[in-house]
Amino acid sequence: MVVEVLACRTGCGACCIAPGITRPFFGMPQGKPPGTPCVHLDAQRRCGLYQDVRRPAVCRTFKPHVDVCGDSAEQALELLNYLESASRPETSL
């Protein structure tokens, strides 16, 4: 089995927008609702906490992969929005 791991796409930021984060973290004491850009996402769509120990664990462990990042920033946002929506307990497909 071949697993295609990608380098993070410059200017994408989809993983900082689509997923919700239920735990409080630096700068977002209520967590982050799905579809809301993280307050640490800068104008170039880069993480302002990337090398910071205050970066949430869920963000540190996320690895870019073709299955969730697709071929473009737009496709990544679409795929991650779908996964976020499909994984909600009250959502049925």
pLDDT the model gives residue 8: 85
Secondary structure class of 41 (helix, strand, coil):
strand
Kindly report the pTM of this predicted structure: 0.84
- Give the count of alpha carbons within 13 A of 85, CB side only: 9
Q: Tokens 């993480």 identify what position?
A: 47
pLDDT the model gives residue 90: 72
pLDDT the model gives residue 88: 83
**Could you state, in order of their start, the residue ranges of all structural domains in the chain?**
14-86
Rounded Cα–Cα distance for residues 81 and 73 (Å): 12
Digitized pLDDT (tens) for each residue of the chain, 93 residues in all? 454 556 788 899 999 999 999 999 999 999 999 999 999 999 999 999 999 999 999 999 999 999 999 999 999 999 999 999 998 877 555
Q: Could you give the angle at the alpha carbon of 79 between the alpha carbons of 12 and 28, nearest 5°?
A: 60
